[in-house]
Structure formats: structure tokens, C-alpha cells
Amino acid sequence: MFELWTEAVRSIEPLVKPAHRDLWLRPIECVAMDEGHIRLRAPNRYNKEWFEDNFLPSIMKDLEARAQRTFSVEFELGPEPEAAAAVEPAAAAAPRPSATVVPAGSSLPPPDLVNRYTFDKFVVGPTNSFAHTAARMVAEAPASRWNPLFIHGGVGLGKTHLLHAIGHEIHRQHPDWRVTFATGERFVTEFIGSLMNQKRSGNSAGNSMEDFRTRYRTAPDVLLVDDVQFLSNKDSSQDEFFHTFNALHYAHKQIVLASDKLPAELPGVEDRLRSRFTWGLIAEVETPDLGTRVAILKRKAEIEKVALSDEAALYIAAHVNTNVRELEGALSHLAARASFQNQPITMELVHAVLAKLVAVAPSGLTVEIIQRDVAAYFDVKLHDLKGPRRHRVVAHPRMVAMYLTRKLTNMSYPEIGSRFGGKDHSTVISAVRKIERLCAEDPAVRSVVATIESRLRQP
Ligand code: ADP
Ligand code: MG
């Protein structure tokens, strides 16, 4: 009977990205199956909800076709027995050394965590939902499955926010646990400082190496390290971090890291550390799409009690398309101007302020509109257009989109490159040249480009 379930799950596996397979499919277990009824176990409710929304319908369709009958589905929540055993050491080691800032048992939020960086203030959309759910799952069941969690992505996309949110949530559920937060830079500075102290005074009071190691290796139940790319090319600090990582990982303490690059792309990081970064789960935050940007603006406006019309939110979101930090910047700027002039945020004000903040193209076109139209015209997927695939089927539309972005917006070559999945500016320059040349030489290309361009120029 269980085989039917396994086969049905297998039938959808080829359609699921490997990372999603590990995160969403594998953890779901079929614990009972009898006449017309299935019982599944999910490690937690996020996993259950995601599974229900995204995979269950296709699996059930396959299963019911094989079994020639319908089934009702029921879930139970909780870790599988072996994963529960893995959590235990962390949960059981109740008395903790109390060397750092928050005394054990205190319910003050962990120091160094920004109050407003919580899960409930994080707006979820397609470009960050994977990282968000991974973060929630780690916060829900620290060190049981994904250790470390490695969050990466460009600036201003919510990595720090997620890291802090994990810290807040774990603190909420386990007020006596020690949640330690540091940036890569602080880790390095403190380490070098204690190293020098040790040399100078033969280990006196203050920042001794012993304090340092207590703080990072022994005390934490959870270690959150932001901007680990700072460890690049810092050999002695990396060595220390390697041992810190091992000590915590061995003791089943959760480690969460944020970085602007993937482990494989971090320059000057030893292989042994690089490989540890990939032991758990790697999750990316990407530039939010238009819908998410609108939702973020509306959420921020609500939190800050600023009246923002849909039209204004849409206009800001369409023009500030780089990252969330800039989006927030634009909103505060507007709110400040409005309150200074003692008037609401009118469209007039929005136009005036944004014209100063971002290079609004005369056409009002944005790279996203261009990408979307070009993708639709050539019938390719948007993510392929922005992705690394070099096949002609996507490479040609991509070059056309780059060419049109250069022509119709004020974006620079490096900016365009970054909006096409982080490509180098030289790639953009050669794409633009190539399309220019083709337009001159080949009437078919010329007419395609002209058609898309005239569609884009229509208001
Ligand atoms: P990063 O660490 O990736 O550079 P941050 O976490 O510092 O980015 O985010 C920049 C700002 O944008 C922060 O104020 C953060 O609260 C906000 N932010 C980022 N992503 C979101 C989101 N999905 N929902 C709400 N606010 C967000
Ligand atoms: Mg950050």
C-alpha cells in the first residue's frame, strides 16, 4: 500500500528542483494508509502548508489514478524519531555557562537584534519564499535538520532581516537559550583584539582569548553570523571560525550564516570551510518582483502609519526596482516631504521625489517591463531570460532585452548586467553591439526588434 504513495511522490520528483525536493518532499512521510485514507507526517506546519499547496494536488492525482479510488488526507506534525534524537543534546543541556551579555533565563530579547526585524514584518513573495520558509523551519526546530542554514543574495534583499527574525523567534520559544549574533567583521575584529591582548599582557582581564572562545564556541545555542563574506582572505580568523563552526555543529547547535555570495563564489576561503558552508541548506533571496515590492511598500506604510494610495505604491515599486532598502528609502523620503509640507502623498509629489531619487527613463519604462515583454514575445521563461543558459533559444531574446533596456532606460551597463542575473557589464556591452550589428545587417532581426520596441513605447 505504501508503495503507491512512494510511486506517486516519485512521479512528481523530476518536476521539482533538487533543493526543493530535499526541503519539501523528503521530510513528508506517509505513516499510514488504508481504505480511502492517508496519514502523513510533516516536521512542522510550514512544511505541511507548503507541501499541501504545491505538491499534494499532483501527488494525489497520480495516486488516485493508480489506485482507482479517492483518498482523504490527514497530517500529523512533529519530527521523525531520529531527528528528535538529534535535537535533544541542545534541548537537554539545560544549565549553560553564563559568560556573555544576557544572563541565562532572562527573557530580554537577545542583544544585537534589531527589534523590527521579525518574521511578521517580513513580506513574502516568490523571490524570497524559499529563504523565508527555510528560516522559519530552522527557527521552529533549531539544529534538527538544516545546519548550517546559509542565506545568500545581493544587498538590501532581506538577509539580515531573516537572520534577526530567526534569532527573535528562537528566543521567543526558548527564552533561556543563548542566541549569539555577530557580523563577520565583528568576529574578525574581536578575534584579532583578543589575540593581541593575549600577546601583550599574557592574558589578563578584558577581551581574552578565553572570553572570545566562550562567547562563540561554548556559550551559544544558536550562532547567527551575518556577512560571512568578510572572512574572505583572512586566514587566521577563518581558522578560528572553522573551529568555532565545528564545536557548535558537533554539539548540535544551530548555525545560520548570511553572505552576499554563494559558498563556491567566496574568494579566499579555505575549502574545508567552504564545504562546511554547504553542509546544510543554501537559500537565496532575489530581487523582489513588482507585486512583492508593492506589498512591501504597503506593509511599511501601514507600519509607519503613512497614507499611501495604490497608485502611488505601484508607481514607486515600478521605478525603484533594485532592492528593498532603496524601496524603504524612497518611502521615508516621500513621507518626510509630505509631512514637512503638511500634505498627503500625492502623485505629483511621488513624481517629483522619484525623479530625483532614481533615473526615471523618459519613456517610463523599466527593465522589468522590457524583460517581461521580450520574454512574452519570444515565448521564453522570464527566469531563463535572466538566467545563465547560453542556448540560442534564450541567449538571443536576452540580448534583445539588454539592447532595449540600454536604449529605452537610463540604466548603465553594470546595472543592466546585475538585473540580468548578475552578468558582467562586458557581457551587456557585447550583447548591445551584437544586436546593433544584426539590426543593420539582417532585416528580420530589425523588424522583430522594431516591433517589440513599438509595443513597449505604446502608453
Ligand atoms: P541585506 O542584509 O540582504 O542587505 P536587509 O535585511 O538589511 O538586507 O534588508 C534591507 C531593508 O529592507 C531592511 O530594513 C529590511 O527590513 C527590509 N526588507 C528586506 N526584505 C524585506 C521583506 N521581504 N519584507 C519587509 N522588509 C524587508
Ligand atoms: Mg545585511
Domains of the chain, start order: 2-81 (3.30.300.180), 119-285 (3.40.50.300), 290-357 (1.10.8.60), 367-457 (1.10.1750.10)
Is any ligand 1 atom within 6 A of the Cβ of residue 440?
Answer: no
Is any ligand 1 atom within 6 A of the Cβ of residue 155?
Answer: yes
Tell me the pLDDT band of 217, cut-offs 50, 70 and 90.
very high
Cell matching residue 444: 528580420
CA of 259 to the centre of ligand 2 (A): 8
- Segment 265-288 mean pLDDT: 94
- Name the strand (E) or helix (H) holding 380: none
Is the pLDDT score of 99 beyond 80?
no
Distances (CA, A) of 241 to 223, 273, 368, 398, 436: 11, 8, 40, 41, 50
Cell matching residue 314: 505601484
What does the pLDDT read at residue 202? 56
Cα within 13 Å of Cα(407), Cβ side:
19
Is any ligand 1 atom within 6 A of the Cβ of residue 158?
Answer: yes
Phi and psi for 385 in degrees, rounded to 5? -60, -35
- Distance in angstroms (rounded) separating the CA atoms of residues 234 and 195: 14
User: 325-344 pLDDT, tens per residue?
Assistant: 989 999 998 998 998 888 99
**Which residue's C-alpha comes closest to atom 19 of ligand 1?**
158
CA of 185 to the centre of ligand 1 (A): 19
Burial zone of 372 (CB within 10 Å; 0-12 exposed, 13-18 middle, 19+ buried): middle
User: pTM for the full model?
Assistant: 0.65
CA of 241 to the centre of ligand 1 (A): 26
Pocket probe mutation, ligand 1, options 124, 128, 161, max atoms within 8 Å of Cβ:
161
Q: Atom of ligand 1 at shortest distance to CA of 123?
A: 24
Is the pLDDT score of 28 beyond 90?
no
Pocket probe mutation, ligand 1, options 257, 325, 326, 331, max atoms within 8 Å of Cβ:
325
- The type of residue at 43 is P
Is beta strand 254-259 parallel, antiparallel or unpaired with respect to 149-153? Answer: parallel
Tell me the pLDDT band of 79, cut-offs 50, 70 and 90.
low
Ligand minimally distant from the alpha carbon of residue 285: 1
Is any ligand 1 atom within 6 A of the Cβ of residue 146?
Answer: no
CA 217, 219, 220 angle in degrees (round to 5)?
80
Is any ligand 1 atom within 6 A of the Cβ of residue 122?
Answer: yes
Is any ligand 1 atom within 6 A of the Cβ of residue 157?
Answer: yes
Q: Is 207 left (phi over 0), alpha (psi -120 to 50) or beta?
A: beta
Q: In this structure, how many other beta carbons lie within 10 angstroms of the beta carbon of residue 442? A: 12
Tell me the pLDDT band of 158, cut-offs 50, 70 and 90.
very high
Is any ligand 1 atom within 6 A of the Cβ of residue 128?
Answer: yes
Pocket probe mutation, ligand 1, options 183, 324, 326, max atoms within 8 Å of Cβ:
324
Is the pLDDT score of 104 beyond 90?
no
What does the pLDDT read at residue 105? 45
Q: Atom of ligand 1 at shortest distance to CA of 328?
A: 12
Cell matching residue 194: 583578543
Is the pLDDT score of 459 beyond 80?
no
- Segment 26-47 mean pLDDT: 83
**Which residue's C-alpha comes closest to atom 20 of ligand 1?**
158
The answer to whether 304 and 289 are in contact (CB under 8 A) is no
The answer to whether 421 and 387 are in contact (CB under 8 A) is yes
Q: In this structure, how many other beta carbons lie within 10 angstroms of the beta carbon of residue 436? A: 14
| Bigger pLDDT: 80 vs 352 | 352
What does the pLDDT read at residue 69? 87
Is any ligand 1 atom within 6 A of the Cβ of residue 324?
Answer: yes
Q: Could you give the strand order of the β-sheet that contains 29-34, starting from the edge strand earlier in sequence? A: 29-34, 37-42, 72-77
What does the pLDDT read at residue 78? 73
Is any ligand 1 atom within 6 A of the Cβ of residue 123?
Answer: yes
CA of 326 to the centre of ligand 1 (A): 10
Question: For residue 288, what are the contacts with CB-CB under 8 A and spacing of at least 6?
Answer: 125, 127, 128, 157, 296, 324
Q: Of 196, 131, 190, which Cα lies nearest the Cα of 166?
A: 131
Pocket probe mutation, ligand 1, options 132, 157, 300, 321, max atoms within 8 Å of Cβ:
157
Ligand minimally distant from the alpha carbon of residue 166: 1
- The type of residue at 236 is S
What does the pLDDT read at residue 84? 37
Q: Of 158, 156, 139, 138, which Cα lies nearest the Cα of 147?
A: 138
Is any ligand 1 atom within 6 A of the Cβ of residue 161?
Answer: yes
Q: What is the mean pLDDT of the chain?
A: 86
Burial zone of 72 (CB within 10 Å; 0-12 exposed, 13-18 middle, 19+ buried): exposed
CA of 5 to the centre of ligand 2 (A): 42
Burial zone of 150 (CB within 10 Å; 0-12 exposed, 13-18 middle, 19+ buried): buried
Cell matching residue 41: 507526517
Is the pLDDT score of 138 beyond 80?
yes
Is any ligand 1 atom within 6 A of the Cβ of residue 160?
Answer: yes
Is any ligand 1 atom within 6 A of the Cβ of residue 260?
Answer: no
Is any ligand 1 atom within 6 A of the Cβ of residue 296?
Answer: yes
Q: Atom of ligand 1 at shortest distance to CA of 327?
A: 12
User: 52-61 pLDDT, tens per residue?
Assistant: 877 888 898 8
- Segment 128-140 mean pLDDT: 95
